[in-house]
Amino acid sequence: MTDRPSLRARAAAAADDGGLRSNLHRAVTHREARRPEAYAELTDANEAHGAAQRIRLDTLRNLPALLGTMADNVLAAGGYVHWADTGDSAVDYVESVLRRRNATNIVKAKSMLTEEIHLNARLEQAGFEVTETDLGEWIVQLAGQAPSHIVAPAVHLNRAEIADILGKESAEPLAGDVTSLTQFARSRLREAFLDADVGITGVNFAVAESGAVVIVTNEGNAGLTIGLPKVHIALMGMERIVESWRELDVMMSLLPRAATGQSISTYVDWVTGARRDSEHDGPEEFHLVIVDNGRSDILGSEYDQVLTCIRCGACSNVCPVYSTIGGHAYGSVYTGPIGAVLTPLLSPDAGLNDLANASSLCGACWETCPVGIPLHDLLLELRYRESAAAGPTERAAWRLWSTMWSKPSRYRSSLSTAARFGSVSSLPLPGPIKRWATGRTPIPVANKSLRKLWKRPRS
Amino acid sequence: MKVGLFPTCLVAVSAPEIAMAARSLLEQQGHEVVLLEAATCCGQPAWNSGQRDAARPVAAASLRAFVDADVDAIVIPSGSCTAMIRDYWPHLFTDHATEASTVATAVDRTMELTEFLAANTTEPVEAADDTDAVIYHPSCHMTRLLGLVDAPLHTLGRSGYTPISHNATGRCCGFGGLFSIKFPELSVAMADDVLDGMVDADATTVTGCDLSCLLQLSSRAKFRGLDLSFIHVAQLVAGSDPAHRQAP
């Protein structure tokens, strides 16, 4: 972890990567362009956001009861429930199911939670063959990369780069057009589905009243992951739950609109328990793994609104930082504004707490968030939390500034000094002011004081 | 009305003529304007850095100046500083009895310049035949935190300026206070996205309600040698000499 370049260096390198920036720009523009039309279909978008926010906040207040109902209903539908306090507990449980079923081949539908708990790496280490079946996720898996966006894992890549990655997998030369590439992916992934012993998915929403889990895709890969293998394991963050289909309806009216500018995703799969005797398809076994992994520490804290997130990724799309540097520069599983908040909360020991600084606090994330999470305010709270960890030099600098500028007379004399030297560098401002000179002309300093100007007789 | 002008630290340091322009606009509306000399800074640099204990005494000094001033309103030529005061001062002083008892009154009297100007005029926007196109940069705190979208447009429109947008309008300039020096390369790249949009627009004068954003953009534009000039809304509307437009 210590050999990771600084956040400034990572951001600078990404901002300087013209190819990356053009890929991001194209993808983000495309996504953003579709959103207004999808939102225009709603009677009142603000009202919808308000309703969704209330549902999510109510969910947090009733979380223990909702999870209890959910678990009861999964059990009643013939499923199994595992409560995982930690990521390791979740992975261990998955591994135990795989071993009991003598499974070797696993297909997965895209799930950020499984990224969070590093499920693939752990399963591969244990000798299992894991195939991601979301096209973007498969591409980054083949490239040995991490997803760079919560919803669009390969958003940092362009078609030529993707053709290179897929070309290495193909026995025959692969044409670089979209149809050839997707046909290749389709044929390869179809084999993986047919060979799979177990399918693993995430959960977009669990519906407590019926014990169903809802999974949203545009490629139909979740349906095959759920339906073809004999075992389905669904992993959910403990906060990803609604009380009933009525609340789900509100959330589903917003998730695809916010995420990809679609009225509805191409596929919405929901599954309740294992296959019943009267049913023709579906898994023999259904397991729901409910993962805490730090969430209950957030619940009830000043940060708990972050748990209302529905992982639409809209905050990344509108974020001027994300759209300049992409996801990998964050160095975290969750990227963009939500990642800058979640990472220091879920993984405070990962050495990434400075992500809270990776924002100009412009508020675009908050403005677009379908559940109204004040991400800029949560970043400020995190910066306050992290301020205790500031070094002695920085703290001394802030104390000096505070002393100088909390007395009008000292403040005025510091302004006179700056005017005399003609530079803001002589102000008692903390921080490496000389870095302003990176690509910018100096900040002008007035040589006349405002007090004098103010008192000057006017014509 | 008797108005106290809080110039903000950045205006006092870098462009006091913005405060002078604000004063003359307020006087044109018939207000008596006093300079809140004892107000220093809203505390935002420290607040945004999580240094609340450093921010509090500085904000408290300014709050005291607000409270002590015998004025009907406090006007600030900055959306960002106004947002700091309105949105965050109550939070900053929550557990500090002395300030907590006065902060609400002070905050209620505090307005951003164009917000105050628009609220205190009954004259309709004149449909001038001959208007100058200017690029209006809506600063983030002004727009998103204060929700002030129409007031600056109103102020510009009344003075015969047509604010025009470009394909990066609404994007952050990349300043973000200390963000601009913690992540200088990223900050500059963000400025470039906005500047590239401005270069493609049908005007070369850029105006806005926050000196901080204008400085970020103008410092980068000058570095790149772009044909854009930057001027604070107060100066533009008060009819500053165009020769002064180079440095806001």
Quick one: pLDDT band at residue B124, thresholds 50, 70, 90?
A: low
How do residues A7-47 score in pLDDT, each as one tens digit? 999 999 999 999 999 999 998 888 888 999 999 999 999 99
Distance from CA of B206 to the nearest CA of A (A): 17
Give the distance, in angstroms, between the CA of residue A47 and the centroid of all CA atoms in the same chain.
24
Q: ipTM beyond 0.90?
A: yes
pLDDT for residue B243 is more than 50: no
Best mutation target, B185, B245, B246, to test chain A (most A CBs within 10 A)? B185
Chain B, 199 to 228: residues with Cβ < 8 Å from chain A are: 215-216, 218-220, 222-223
> What pLDDT is attached to residue A443?
95
> What pLDDT is attached to residue B242?
43
Q: Which of A291, A185, A302 is nearest to A233 (CA)?
A: A291
Contact A437, A429 (CB under 8 A): no
Instruction: Give percent of chain B above pLDDT 70.
Output: 93
Residues in chain A within 8 Å Cβ distance of B65: 408
Query: Residue B232 has what DSSP assignment?
Result: E
Question: Which positions ≥6 away from A256 have C-beta within 8 Å?
Answer: A38, A216, A262, A263, A264, A265
Q: In which residue ranges of chain A is pLDDT below 50? A: none
Quick one: pLDDT band at residue B125, thresholds 50, 70, 90?
A: low
Residue A153 token pair: 């894992």
Level-2 CATH architecture, domain A17-296: 3-Layer(aba) Sandwich (3.40)
CB pair distance less than 8 Å for A320 and B172: yes
Residues in chain A within 8 Å Cβ distance of B37: 408, 451
Which part of chain A has CATH 3.40.50.10420?
17-296
Residue A377 token pair: 């305010």
Indicate yes or no: pTM above 0.90. Answer: yes
For the four alpha carbons of A453, A454, A459 and B3, in that order, the dihedral sign comes to positive
pLDDT for residue B128 is more than 70: no
Q: Chain A: residue nearest B23 by CA?
A: A454
DSSP annotation string for A112-145: HHHHHTTHHHHHHHTT-EEEE-SHHHHHHHHTT-
Residue matched to tokens 């992993």: A235
Distance from CA of A391 to the nearest CA of B (A): 12
Task: Please give the Cα distance from B20 to B232 (Å, whole number).
Answer: 12
> What pLDDT is attached to residue A456?
87
> What pLDDT is attached to residue B239?
83
Give me the residue spans of the domains in chain B: 2-119, 132-245
Residue B85 token pair: 């005061």
> What pLDDT is attached to residue A219?
96
Chain B, 136 to 195: residues with Cβ < 8 Å from chain A are: 140-141, 144-145, 170-172, 174-191, 193
Long-range contacts of B23-28 (CB under 8 A, 24+ apart): B23/A454, B24/B238, B25/B113, B25/B117, B25/B234, B25/B237, B25/B238, B26/B75, B26/B116, B26/B117
> What pLDDT is attached to residue B244?
40
CATH topology of domain B132-245: Rossmann fold (3.40.50)
Best mutation target, B49, B56, B232, to test chain A (most A CBs within 10 A)? B49
